[in-house]
Homo-oligomer: A and B are copies of this chain.
Amino acid sequence: MLSDIEIATAATLRPIRDVAAETLGIAEEHLVPFGHDKAKVDPGYLSSLADRPLGKLVLVTALSPTPPGEGKTTTTVGLTDALHGLGHRTVACLREPSMGPVFGMKGGAAGGGYSQVVPMTDINLHFTGDFAALAAANNLLAALIDNHVHHGNELGIDVRSVTWKRVLDTNDRALREITVGLGGHANGFPRSDGFDIVVASELMAIFCLTESVADLKQRIGDIVIGYTRAMEPVTARQLGADGALAVLLKDALSPNLVQTLEGAPAFVHGGPFANIAHGCSSVMATRAGLRLADYVVTEAGFGADLGAEKFVDIKCRKSGLRPDVAVVVATVRALKYHGGVALADLGTEDVAAVEAGMANLRRHLRNVREVYGIPCVVAVNRFPTDTDAEVARVVELVADEGVRAFPATHFADGGSGAHDLAKGVLATLDEPSAHEFSFTYPDELSLIEKVEAVATRVYDAGQVTWEPRARRRLARFEKDGYGHLPVCIAKTQYSFSTDPTSLGAPSGHELHVREVRLSAGAGFVVAVCGDIMTMPGLPASPAAQRIDLLDDGTITGLS
Protein backbone atom coordinates (compact mmCIF):
# COMPACT_ATOMS: atom_id res chain seq x y z
CA MET A 1 0.00 0.00 0.00
CA LEU A 2 1.15 3.53 -0.70
CA SER A 3 2.28 5.84 2.10
CA ASP A 4 -0.07 8.50 3.44
CA ILE A 5 1.72 11.29 1.60
CA GLU A 6 1.80 9.33 -1.65
CA ILE A 7 -1.95 8.80 -1.43
CA ALA A 8 -2.57 12.41 -0.46
CA THR A 9 -0.32 13.80 -3.19
CA ALA A 10 -1.90 11.62 -5.87
CA ALA A 11 -5.40 12.81 -4.94
CA THR A 12 -7.19 15.28 -7.17
CA LEU A 13 -8.63 17.96 -4.95
CA ARG A 14 -11.77 19.80 -5.90
CA PRO A 15 -11.81 23.57 -5.46
CA ILE A 16 -12.87 24.18 -1.87
CA ARG A 17 -15.53 26.63 -3.05
CA ASP A 18 -17.21 23.80 -4.95
CA VAL A 19 -16.97 21.47 -1.96
CA ALA A 20 -18.44 24.17 0.26
CA ALA A 21 -21.28 24.91 -2.11
CA GLU A 22 -22.20 21.36 -3.01
CA THR A 23 -21.78 19.59 0.31
CA LEU A 24 -22.78 22.29 2.78
CA GLY A 25 -24.57 24.90 0.71
CA ILE A 26 -22.07 27.65 1.58
CA ALA A 27 -21.89 30.28 -1.14
CA GLU A 28 -18.42 31.39 -2.25
CA GLU A 29 -18.94 34.88 -0.85
CA HIS A 30 -18.99 33.43 2.67
CA LEU A 31 -15.59 31.82 2.28
CA VAL A 32 -12.24 33.40 3.03
CA PRO A 33 -9.95 31.42 0.73
CA PHE A 34 -6.45 30.26 1.64
CA GLY A 35 -5.25 29.05 -1.71
CA HIS A 36 -7.75 27.01 -3.69
CA ASP A 37 -8.23 24.07 -1.36
CA LYS A 38 -8.52 25.63 2.08
CA ALA A 39 -10.89 28.29 3.32
CA LYS A 40 -12.13 29.86 6.48
CA VAL A 41 -15.86 30.36 6.78
CA ASP A 42 -16.95 33.91 7.42
CA PRO A 43 -18.09 34.29 11.05
CA GLY A 44 -20.86 36.69 10.10
CA TYR A 45 -22.34 34.03 7.85
CA LEU A 46 -22.10 31.44 10.62
CA SER A 47 -23.88 33.81 13.00
CA SER A 48 -26.67 34.17 10.45
CA LEU A 49 -27.38 30.43 10.78
CA ALA A 50 -28.27 30.69 14.47
CA ASP A 51 -31.90 29.71 13.91
CA ARG A 52 -31.17 26.57 11.95
CA PRO A 53 -31.94 23.22 13.60
CA LEU A 54 -28.89 21.29 14.73
CA GLY A 55 -27.76 18.04 13.11
CA LYS A 56 -26.73 14.92 15.00
CA LEU A 57 -23.39 14.91 16.79
CA VAL A 58 -21.29 11.73 16.54
CA LEU A 59 -18.38 11.55 19.00
CA VAL A 60 -15.48 9.28 18.03
CA THR A 61 -13.49 8.05 21.01
CA ALA A 62 -11.44 4.94 21.75
CA LEU A 63 -10.25 2.34 24.20
CA SER A 64 -6.94 3.02 25.95
CA PRO A 65 -4.52 3.22 23.05
CA THR A 66 -1.23 1.53 22.29
CA PRO A 67 1.67 3.92 21.74
CA PRO A 68 1.26 3.87 17.91
CA GLY A 69 -2.43 4.82 18.23
CA GLU A 70 -5.64 3.14 17.15
CA GLY A 71 -6.72 5.28 14.20
CA LYS A 72 -9.27 7.59 15.79
CA THR A 73 -8.77 10.40 13.29
CA THR A 74 -8.71 7.89 10.45
CA THR A 75 -12.00 6.43 11.70
CA THR A 76 -13.53 9.89 12.02
CA VAL A 77 -12.64 10.59 8.40
CA GLY A 78 -13.68 7.11 7.22
CA LEU A 79 -17.05 7.36 8.93
CA THR A 80 -17.58 10.82 7.49
CA ASP A 81 -16.80 9.51 4.02
CA ALA A 82 -19.13 6.57 4.53
CA LEU A 83 -22.05 8.76 5.61
CA HIS A 84 -21.24 11.20 2.79
CA GLY A 85 -21.09 8.32 0.32
CA LEU A 86 -24.45 7.04 1.54
CA GLY A 87 -25.94 10.40 0.64
CA HIS A 88 -26.08 12.06 4.04
CA ARG A 89 -25.04 15.64 4.52
CA THR A 90 -22.08 15.09 6.84
CA VAL A 91 -19.08 17.06 7.99
CA ALA A 92 -16.08 15.96 10.02
CA CYS A 93 -14.78 18.19 12.83
CA LEU A 94 -11.13 17.45 13.53
CA ARG A 95 -8.29 18.90 15.51
CA GLU A 96 -5.55 20.76 13.71
CA PRO A 97 -2.31 18.83 13.84
CA SER A 98 0.60 20.34 15.70
CA MET A 99 3.56 21.07 13.44
CA GLY A 100 6.26 20.31 16.00
CA PRO A 101 5.77 16.54 16.08
CA VAL A 102 5.71 16.38 12.26
CA PHE A 103 9.47 16.95 12.37
CA GLY A 104 9.96 14.54 15.25
CA MET A 105 8.56 11.05 15.08
CA LYS A 106 4.99 10.93 14.15
CA GLY A 107 4.64 12.27 10.65
CA GLY A 108 1.31 13.74 9.69
CA ALA A 109 -1.88 13.76 11.76
CA ALA A 110 -4.62 14.27 9.23
CA GLY A 111 -5.92 10.71 9.11
CA GLY A 112 -4.19 7.95 7.21
CA GLY A 113 -4.36 5.58 4.27
CA TYR A 114 -7.49 6.27 2.21
CA SER A 115 -9.15 8.13 5.06
CA GLN A 116 -7.37 11.45 5.12
CA VAL A 117 -8.17 15.11 4.98
CA VAL A 118 -6.34 17.05 2.30
CA PRO A 119 -4.27 19.06 1.38
CA MET A 120 -2.26 16.87 3.72
CA THR A 121 1.05 18.76 3.71
CA ASP A 122 -0.62 22.12 4.25
CA ILE A 123 -2.75 20.83 7.10
CA ASN A 124 0.30 19.34 8.80
CA LEU A 125 2.44 22.43 8.36
CA HIS A 126 1.38 26.08 8.55
CA PHE A 127 -2.22 25.48 7.38
CA THR A 128 -4.14 28.76 7.74
CA GLY A 129 -1.84 30.16 10.41
CA ASP A 130 -4.03 29.48 13.45
CA PHE A 131 -1.20 28.03 15.53
CA ALA A 132 1.12 30.86 14.57
CA ALA A 133 -1.54 33.34 15.67
CA LEU A 134 -1.94 31.51 18.97
CA ALA A 135 1.81 31.53 19.51
CA ALA A 136 2.03 35.24 18.71
CA ALA A 137 -0.78 36.05 21.13
CA ASN A 138 0.60 33.78 23.86
CA ASN A 139 4.05 35.27 23.57
CA LEU A 140 2.82 38.85 23.45
CA LEU A 141 1.18 38.25 26.82
CA ALA A 142 4.43 36.79 28.15
CA ALA A 143 6.35 39.82 26.90
CA LEU A 144 3.80 42.15 28.48
CA ILE A 145 4.27 40.43 31.83
CA ASP A 146 8.03 40.83 31.90
CA ASN A 147 7.70 44.31 30.44
CA HIS A 148 5.33 45.31 33.23
CA VAL A 149 7.78 44.07 35.85
CA HIS A 150 10.68 45.80 34.08
CA HIS A 151 8.92 49.16 33.95
CA GLY A 152 8.05 49.40 37.64
CA ASN A 153 5.77 46.45 38.40
CA GLU A 154 2.82 48.54 39.46
CA LEU A 155 0.69 45.42 39.91
CA GLY A 156 3.27 43.88 42.21
CA ILE A 157 3.69 40.68 40.21
CA ASP A 158 5.87 38.18 42.05
CA VAL A 159 8.14 36.87 39.30
CA ARG A 160 8.51 33.60 41.19
CA SER A 161 4.77 33.05 40.80
CA VAL A 162 4.34 33.74 37.10
CA THR A 163 2.53 30.74 35.64
CA TRP A 164 2.15 31.99 32.05
CA LYS A 165 4.75 30.33 29.86
CA ARG A 166 5.97 31.09 26.37
CA VAL A 167 5.20 28.71 23.49
CA LEU A 168 6.52 27.52 20.13
CA ASP A 169 5.17 24.95 17.71
CA THR A 170 8.54 23.21 17.68
CA ASN A 171 9.63 20.11 19.57
CA ASP A 172 12.46 21.62 21.56
CA ARG A 173 13.48 20.07 24.85
CA ALA A 174 16.15 22.73 25.43
CA LEU A 175 13.38 25.27 26.03
CA ARG A 176 11.54 23.30 28.72
CA GLU A 177 13.39 24.98 31.54
CA ILE A 178 15.21 28.22 30.89
CA THR A 179 16.29 31.36 32.66
CA VAL A 180 15.18 34.59 30.99
CA GLY A 181 16.05 38.21 31.61
CA LEU A 182 19.80 37.66 31.90
CA GLY A 183 22.39 40.16 30.76
CA GLY A 184 21.80 43.05 33.09
CA HIS A 185 19.52 45.97 33.66
CA ALA A 186 18.33 46.54 30.09
CA ASN A 187 17.04 42.99 29.77
CA GLY A 188 14.76 42.96 32.81
CA PHE A 189 14.74 40.78 35.89
CA PRO A 190 16.09 37.24 35.62
CA ARG A 191 13.58 34.54 36.39
CA SER A 192 12.90 30.86 35.75
CA ASP A 193 10.66 30.26 32.78
CA GLY A 194 10.00 27.71 30.06
CA PHE A 195 8.39 27.11 26.71
CA ASP A 196 5.50 24.75 26.05
CA ILE A 197 4.36 23.55 22.65
CA VAL A 198 1.51 25.69 21.26
CA VAL A 199 -1.16 23.04 21.75
CA ALA A 200 -0.43 23.07 25.48
CA SER A 201 -1.19 26.77 25.83
CA GLU A 202 -4.25 27.79 27.79
CA LEU A 203 -4.92 30.11 24.87
CA MET A 204 -5.49 27.06 22.65
CA ALA A 205 -8.07 25.76 25.12
CA ILE A 206 -9.71 29.18 25.25
CA PHE A 207 -9.75 29.35 21.46
CA CYS A 208 -11.48 25.99 21.25
CA LEU A 209 -14.15 26.84 23.83
CA THR A 210 -14.90 30.32 22.51
CA GLU A 211 -18.28 31.15 21.04
CA SER A 212 -17.66 34.67 19.65
CA VAL A 213 -15.25 37.58 19.46
CA ALA A 214 -16.74 39.09 22.61
CA ASP A 215 -16.47 35.77 24.45
CA LEU A 216 -12.86 35.40 23.28
CA LYS A 217 -11.85 38.76 24.72
CA GLN A 218 -13.66 38.05 27.95
CA ARG A 219 -11.90 34.72 28.39
CA ILE A 220 -8.50 36.18 27.54
CA GLY A 221 -9.06 38.91 30.10
CA ASP A 222 -9.84 36.25 32.71
CA ILE A 223 -6.49 34.48 32.28
CA VAL A 224 -4.54 34.42 35.54
CA ILE A 225 -0.90 34.94 34.57
CA GLY A 226 0.50 34.65 38.07
CA TYR A 227 0.29 36.09 41.53
CA THR A 228 1.39 38.98 43.64
CA ARG A 229 3.60 38.44 46.65
CA ALA A 230 0.37 38.40 48.69
CA MET A 231 -0.87 35.61 46.38
CA GLU A 232 -3.54 37.73 44.76
CA PRO A 233 -4.17 36.54 41.20
CA VAL A 234 -3.11 38.88 38.36
CA THR A 235 -5.13 38.69 35.17
CA ALA A 236 -4.35 39.44 31.54
CA ARG A 237 -7.03 42.13 31.76
CA GLN A 238 -5.08 43.93 34.47
CA LEU A 239 -2.14 44.03 32.08
CA GLY A 240 -4.36 45.56 29.39
CA ALA A 241 -3.57 42.60 27.14
CA ASP A 242 -7.04 41.29 26.32
CA GLY A 243 -7.74 43.57 23.36
CA ALA A 244 -4.39 43.04 21.63
CA LEU A 245 -4.51 39.27 22.09
CA ALA A 246 -8.05 39.14 20.75
CA VAL A 247 -6.93 41.15 17.71
CA LEU A 248 -4.20 38.59 17.08
CA LEU A 249 -6.72 35.72 17.24
CA LYS A 250 -9.64 37.31 15.44
CA ASP A 251 -9.10 35.79 12.02
CA ALA A 252 -7.98 32.44 13.37
CA LEU A 253 -11.32 32.08 15.13
CA SER A 254 -13.14 31.31 11.88
CA PRO A 255 -13.31 27.55 11.24
CA ASN A 256 -11.10 26.08 8.51
CA LEU A 257 -12.83 24.08 5.81
CA VAL A 258 -11.01 21.39 3.83
CA GLN A 259 -12.09 18.12 2.23
CA THR A 260 -11.55 14.42 2.68
CA LEU A 261 -9.98 12.31 -0.07
CA GLU A 262 -13.55 11.46 -1.08
CA GLY A 263 -14.70 15.07 -1.23
CA ALA A 264 -16.62 15.23 2.02
CA PRO A 265 -16.27 18.51 3.92
CA ALA A 266 -14.16 18.71 7.05
CA PHE A 267 -13.66 21.48 9.57
CA VAL A 268 -10.13 21.24 10.95
CA HIS A 269 -9.95 23.82 13.68
CA GLY A 270 -8.11 24.09 16.97
CA GLY A 271 -6.31 21.31 18.75
CA PRO A 272 -5.62 21.48 22.47
CA PHE A 273 -3.77 18.74 24.32
CA ALA A 274 -6.06 16.11 25.84
CA ASN A 275 -4.19 16.01 29.14
CA ILE A 276 -3.65 19.53 30.47
CA ALA A 277 -6.52 20.74 28.28
CA HIS A 278 -9.73 19.27 26.94
CA GLY A 279 -8.50 17.73 23.68
CA CYS A 280 -11.33 18.62 21.30
CA SER A 281 -11.57 20.74 18.16
CA SER A 282 -13.30 24.09 18.42
CA VAL A 283 -16.84 24.78 19.57
CA MET A 284 -17.03 27.28 16.70
CA ALA A 285 -16.45 24.48 14.20
CA THR A 286 -18.72 21.93 15.90
CA ARG A 287 -21.57 24.38 16.11
CA ALA A 288 -21.06 25.50 12.52
CA GLY A 289 -21.09 21.87 11.43
CA LEU A 290 -24.29 21.11 13.31
CA ARG A 291 -26.02 24.01 11.59
CA LEU A 292 -24.73 23.18 8.15
CA ALA A 293 -24.99 19.38 8.09
CA ASP A 294 -27.24 16.59 9.30
CA TYR A 295 -24.33 14.70 10.83
CA VAL A 296 -21.18 15.99 12.47
CA VAL A 297 -18.50 13.41 13.16
CA THR A 298 -15.93 14.65 15.66
CA GLU A 299 -13.22 13.11 17.77
CA ALA A 300 -11.91 13.57 21.28
CA GLY A 301 -8.28 12.94 22.19
CA PHE A 302 -6.79 9.78 23.72
CA GLY A 303 -9.15 7.13 25.20
CA ALA A 304 -12.72 7.58 26.44
CA ASP A 305 -11.44 8.04 30.01
CA LEU A 306 -9.64 11.23 28.97
CA GLY A 307 -10.86 12.79 25.74
CA ALA A 308 -14.49 11.76 25.95
CA GLU A 309 -14.67 12.63 29.65
CA LYS A 310 -13.37 16.12 28.87
CA PHE A 311 -15.63 16.39 25.84
CA VAL A 312 -18.55 15.77 28.18
CA ASP A 313 -17.45 17.53 31.34
CA ILE A 314 -15.75 20.53 29.75
CA LYS A 315 -16.78 21.10 26.14
CA CYS A 316 -20.42 20.00 26.49
CA ARG A 317 -20.82 21.58 29.91
CA LYS A 318 -19.62 24.96 28.66
CA SER A 319 -21.18 24.99 25.21
CA GLY A 320 -24.45 23.16 25.72
CA LEU A 321 -23.54 20.77 22.90
CA ARG A 322 -24.60 17.14 23.36
CA PRO A 323 -23.34 14.07 21.50
CA ASP A 324 -26.10 11.87 20.10
CA VAL A 325 -23.99 8.77 19.74
CA ALA A 326 -20.43 7.70 20.49
CA VAL A 327 -18.23 5.53 18.31
CA VAL A 328 -15.64 3.74 20.42
CA VAL A 329 -12.68 2.79 18.24
CA ALA A 330 -11.12 -0.53 19.17
CA THR A 331 -8.39 -2.52 17.48
CA VAL A 332 -7.43 -6.15 17.78
CA ARG A 333 -3.90 -4.91 18.39
CA ALA A 334 -4.86 -2.78 21.37
CA LEU A 335 -7.03 -5.51 22.86
CA LYS A 336 -4.14 -7.95 22.65
CA TYR A 337 -1.86 -5.31 24.17
CA HIS A 338 -4.24 -4.94 27.09
CA GLY A 339 -4.41 -8.73 27.20
CA GLY A 340 -0.72 -8.87 27.96
CA VAL A 341 0.94 -9.21 24.53
CA ALA A 342 4.13 -7.23 23.97
CA LEU A 343 4.08 -4.47 21.38
CA ALA A 344 6.46 -6.36 19.13
CA ASP A 345 4.22 -9.45 19.07
CA LEU A 346 0.90 -7.82 18.24
CA GLY A 347 1.01 -9.17 14.69
CA THR A 348 0.58 -12.77 15.85
CA GLU A 349 -2.94 -14.21 16.21
CA ASP A 350 -3.97 -14.54 19.85
CA VAL A 351 -7.70 -14.78 20.46
CA ALA A 352 -7.19 -15.48 24.16
CA ALA A 353 -5.32 -12.20 24.53
CA VAL A 354 -8.13 -10.41 22.74
CA GLU A 355 -10.51 -11.88 25.32
CA ALA A 356 -8.27 -10.85 28.18
CA GLY A 357 -7.84 -7.33 26.80
CA MET A 358 -11.58 -6.90 26.47
CA ALA A 359 -11.63 -5.75 30.10
CA ASN A 360 -10.26 -2.41 28.93
CA LEU A 361 -12.85 -1.86 26.22
CA ARG A 362 -15.61 -3.12 28.52
CA ARG A 363 -14.88 -0.42 31.04
CA HIS A 364 -14.80 2.29 28.40
CA LEU A 365 -18.18 1.09 27.13
CA ARG A 366 -19.53 1.21 30.66
CA ASN A 367 -18.24 4.77 31.10
CA VAL A 368 -19.62 6.00 27.81
CA ARG A 369 -23.05 4.52 28.43
CA GLU A 370 -23.48 4.64 32.17
CA VAL A 371 -21.34 7.58 33.31
CA TYR A 372 -21.72 9.94 30.33
CA GLY A 373 -25.05 8.47 29.24
CA ILE A 374 -24.28 8.31 25.51
CA PRO A 375 -25.49 5.45 23.32
CA CYS A 376 -22.60 3.86 21.47
CA VAL A 377 -21.30 1.46 18.88
CA VAL A 378 -17.82 0.01 18.52
CA ALA A 379 -15.71 0.47 15.39
CA VAL A 380 -13.18 -2.33 14.97
CA ASN A 381 -10.54 -0.52 12.94
CA ARG A 382 -8.89 -3.36 11.02
CA PHE A 383 -5.16 -3.67 10.62
CA PRO A 384 -3.59 -5.97 8.01
CA THR A 385 -2.33 -8.40 10.66
CA ASP A 386 -5.76 -8.90 12.26
CA THR A 387 -7.16 -12.37 11.66
CA ASP A 388 -10.83 -12.99 10.92
CA ALA A 389 -11.07 -15.09 14.07
CA GLU A 390 -9.80 -12.26 16.21
CA VAL A 391 -12.13 -9.72 14.65
CA ALA A 392 -15.11 -12.05 14.98
CA ARG A 393 -14.30 -12.59 18.63
CA VAL A 394 -14.23 -8.83 19.27
CA VAL A 395 -17.66 -8.49 17.69
CA GLU A 396 -19.00 -11.31 19.88
CA LEU A 397 -17.50 -9.93 23.05
CA VAL A 398 -18.85 -6.48 22.38
CA ALA A 399 -22.27 -7.97 21.64
CA ASP A 400 -22.13 -9.63 25.07
CA GLU A 401 -22.07 -6.08 26.45
CA GLY A 402 -25.21 -5.23 24.52
CA VAL A 403 -23.29 -3.09 22.03
CA ARG A 404 -22.90 -3.59 18.30
CA ALA A 405 -19.40 -3.71 16.84
CA PHE A 406 -18.63 -3.06 13.19
CA PRO A 407 -15.35 -4.08 11.60
CA ALA A 408 -14.20 -1.31 9.28
CA THR A 409 -11.51 -1.14 6.61
CA HIS A 410 -11.59 2.56 5.75
CA PHE A 411 -7.80 2.87 6.08
CA ALA A 412 -7.35 0.55 3.10
CA ASP A 413 -10.68 1.09 1.36
CA GLY A 414 -11.84 4.63 2.14
CA GLY A 415 -15.46 5.36 3.03
CA SER A 416 -16.81 2.16 1.53
CA GLY A 417 -14.83 0.28 4.17
CA ALA A 418 -16.93 1.97 6.86
CA HIS A 419 -20.40 1.55 5.33
CA ASP A 420 -21.46 -1.04 7.92
CA LEU A 421 -20.22 1.22 10.66
CA ALA A 422 -22.10 4.17 9.20
CA LYS A 423 -25.30 2.16 8.98
CA GLY A 424 -24.81 1.03 12.57
CA VAL A 425 -24.39 4.61 13.67
CA LEU A 426 -27.53 5.67 11.80
CA ALA A 427 -29.50 2.77 13.28
CA THR A 428 -28.38 3.68 16.78
CA LEU A 429 -29.39 7.28 16.21
CA ASP A 430 -32.84 6.10 15.16
CA GLU A 431 -33.36 4.04 18.30
CA PRO A 432 -34.64 5.54 21.52
CA SER A 433 -31.63 5.96 23.80
CA ALA A 434 -31.47 3.76 26.88
CA HIS A 435 -29.24 6.37 28.45
CA GLU A 436 -29.56 9.95 29.51
CA PHE A 437 -26.68 12.32 28.91
CA SER A 438 -24.99 13.26 32.15
CA PHE A 439 -21.89 14.97 33.44
CA THR A 440 -19.58 12.96 35.66
CA TYR A 441 -20.13 15.50 38.44
CA PRO A 442 -22.21 18.61 39.06
CA ASP A 443 -20.71 22.13 39.22
CA GLU A 444 -21.55 22.35 42.91
CA LEU A 445 -19.04 19.79 44.16
CA SER A 446 -15.76 21.08 45.52
CA LEU A 447 -12.72 20.82 43.24
CA ILE A 448 -11.45 17.90 45.33
CA GLU A 449 -14.76 16.11 45.06
CA LYS A 450 -14.80 16.64 41.30
CA VAL A 451 -11.42 14.98 40.91
CA GLU A 452 -12.62 12.18 43.16
CA ALA A 453 -15.76 11.74 41.08
CA VAL A 454 -13.77 11.23 37.87
CA ALA A 455 -11.23 9.03 39.65
CA THR A 456 -13.75 6.69 41.14
CA ARG A 457 -16.50 6.72 38.53
CA VAL A 458 -14.34 6.74 35.36
CA TYR A 459 -10.94 5.38 36.38
CA ASP A 460 -12.14 2.97 39.12
CA ALA A 461 -9.45 4.38 41.40
CA GLY A 462 -9.56 3.40 45.06
CA GLN A 463 -8.47 6.76 46.40
CA VAL A 464 -7.16 10.15 45.43
CA THR A 465 -4.05 11.42 47.21
CA TRP A 466 -2.62 14.90 46.98
CA GLU A 467 0.68 16.62 47.23
CA PRO A 468 0.13 18.99 50.15
CA ARG A 469 1.02 21.95 47.95
CA ALA A 470 -1.54 20.92 45.32
CA ARG A 471 -4.21 20.70 47.97
CA ARG A 472 -3.33 24.12 49.32
CA ARG A 473 -3.51 25.60 45.84
CA LEU A 474 -6.96 24.08 45.28
CA ALA A 475 -8.11 25.77 48.45
CA ARG A 476 -6.63 29.01 47.09
CA PHE A 477 -8.48 28.58 43.79
CA GLU A 478 -11.74 28.08 45.67
CA LYS A 479 -11.08 31.13 47.83
CA ASP A 480 -10.35 33.14 44.66
CA GLY A 481 -13.73 32.18 43.23
CA TYR A 482 -12.80 29.35 40.88
CA GLY A 483 -14.41 26.51 42.83
CA HIS A 484 -17.31 26.20 40.40
CA LEU A 485 -15.06 25.26 37.48
CA PRO A 486 -14.84 21.75 36.09
CA VAL A 487 -11.61 19.81 36.48
CA CYS A 488 -9.31 18.60 33.75
CA ILE A 489 -7.23 15.61 34.80
CA ALA A 490 -3.86 15.17 33.10
CA LYS A 491 -2.67 11.59 33.26
CA THR A 492 -1.24 8.93 30.98
CA GLN A 493 -3.48 7.83 28.11
CA TYR A 494 -2.24 4.24 28.28
CA SER A 495 -3.98 3.17 31.45
CA PHE A 496 -7.00 3.92 33.62
CA SER A 497 -4.44 4.46 36.35
CA THR A 498 -1.48 6.82 36.40
CA ASP A 499 0.89 3.94 35.63
CA PRO A 500 1.22 3.55 31.85
CA THR A 501 2.22 -0.10 32.26
CA SER A 502 -0.94 -0.98 34.19
CA LEU A 503 -2.96 -2.16 31.21
CA GLY A 504 -6.42 -3.71 30.96
CA ALA A 505 -8.83 -2.46 33.59
CA PRO A 506 -7.02 -1.76 36.85
CA SER A 507 -9.18 -1.06 39.91
CA GLY A 508 -8.60 0.29 43.38
CA HIS A 509 -5.43 2.14 42.39
CA GLU A 510 -4.34 5.40 43.89
CA LEU A 511 -4.65 8.58 41.84
CA HIS A 512 -1.93 10.88 43.08
CA VAL A 513 -2.31 14.54 42.18
CA ARG A 514 1.14 16.01 41.93
CA GLU A 515 0.23 19.53 40.92
CA VAL A 516 -2.77 21.69 40.08
CA ARG A 517 -3.00 24.57 37.64
CA LEU A 518 -5.65 27.17 37.07
CA SER A 519 -6.85 27.80 33.53
CA ALA A 520 -9.15 30.64 34.48
CA GLY A 521 -9.69 31.88 30.93
CA ALA A 522 -10.48 28.46 29.53
CA GLY A 523 -12.52 27.81 32.65
CA PHE A 524 -11.13 24.67 34.25
CA VAL A 525 -8.69 23.54 36.91
CA VAL A 526 -6.03 21.08 35.79
CA ALA A 527 -5.02 18.25 38.12
CA VAL A 528 -1.70 16.83 36.99
CA CYS A 529 -1.20 13.16 37.85
CA GLY A 530 2.15 11.71 36.85
CA ASP A 531 4.61 13.21 34.42
CA ILE A 532 2.94 15.24 31.72
CA MET A 533 5.18 16.54 28.98
CA THR A 534 4.07 19.90 27.62
CA MET A 535 7.13 20.39 25.41
CA PRO A 536 8.15 17.30 23.42
CA GLY A 537 11.70 16.65 22.29
CA LEU A 538 13.05 15.37 19.00
CA PRO A 539 14.26 11.78 18.68
CA ALA A 540 17.85 10.77 17.83
CA SER A 541 16.86 10.48 14.18
CA PRO A 542 14.22 13.15 13.68
CA ALA A 543 11.83 13.08 10.73
CA ALA A 544 13.15 16.53 9.83
CA GLN A 545 16.25 14.86 8.43
CA ARG A 546 14.15 12.79 6.02
CA ILE A 547 11.77 15.53 4.93
CA ASP A 548 12.92 17.17 1.74
CA LEU A 549 11.93 19.63 -0.95
CA LEU A 550 12.72 18.70 -4.53
CA ASP A 551 13.66 21.38 -7.06
CA ASP A 552 10.21 21.17 -8.61
CA GLY A 553 8.61 21.97 -5.25
CA THR A 554 7.57 18.42 -4.36
CA ILE A 555 7.65 17.66 -0.65
CA THR A 556 8.91 14.21 0.29
CA GLY A 557 9.27 12.25 3.51
CA LEU A 558 6.52 13.97 5.42
CA SER A 559 4.95 10.71 6.54
A positions within 8 Å CB-CB of B: 32-36, 43, 99, 103, 121-122, 125-126, 129, 132-133, 135-136, 139-140, 142-144, 146-147, 150-152, 166, 168-183, 186-188, 191-193, 212-214, 216-217, 239-241, 243-244, 246-248, 250-251, 537-540, 542-549, 551-553, 555, 557-558
Contact = CB atoms under 8 A, between A and B. Distances in A.
Chain A at the B interface: mostly helix, strand, loop or mixed?
A: mixed
B172 A103 contact: no
A143 B174 contact: yes
A214 B34 CA distance: 25
The quantity of this chain's copies bound in the complex is 2
Interface centre among A34, A143, A146, A542 (most CB of B within 10 A): A143
Given A36-B32, A187-B177, A549-B213, A542 B144 contact: yes
Nearest to A240: B545
A147 B247 contact: no
A126 B129 contact: yes
Contacts of A177: 181-183, 187
A241 B544 contact: yes
Given A33-B34, A99-B136, A553-B213, A147 B173 contact: yes
B170 A180 contact: no
A540 B129 contact: no
Given A143-B171, A246-B549, 11 more contacts: A126-B132, A126-B251, A147-B542, A174-B187, A174-B188, A174-B193, A177-B183, A179-B179, A212-B551, A241-B544, A250-B549
A243 B548 CA distance: 4
A183 B178 CA distance: 8
For A125, A172, A177, A247, the residue with the greatest tally of chain B CB atoms inside 10 Å of its CB is A247
Given A36-B32, A143-B538, A180 B181 contact: no
A292 B167 CA distance: 41
Given A187-B177, A250-B549, A553-B250, A139 B125 contact: no
Contact of A240 (B214, B241, B540, B544): B544
B188 A247 contact: no
A186 to B, nearest CB: 7
B187 A176 contact: yes
Contacts of A192: 182
Contact of A178 (B182, B548, B553, B557): B182
B139 A549 contact: no
A548 B174 contact: no
A32 B32 contact: no
10 contacts: A33-B36, A122-B251, A139-B172, A140-B170, A142-B172, A174-B187, A213-B549, A213-B551, A214-B551, A246-B548
A214 B213 CA distance: 42
A182 B179 contact: yes
B140 A544 contact: yes
Given A187-B176, A537-B147, A545-B241, A136 B169 contact: yes
A415 B177 CA distance: 53
B171 A103 contact: no
A59 B305 CA distance: 63
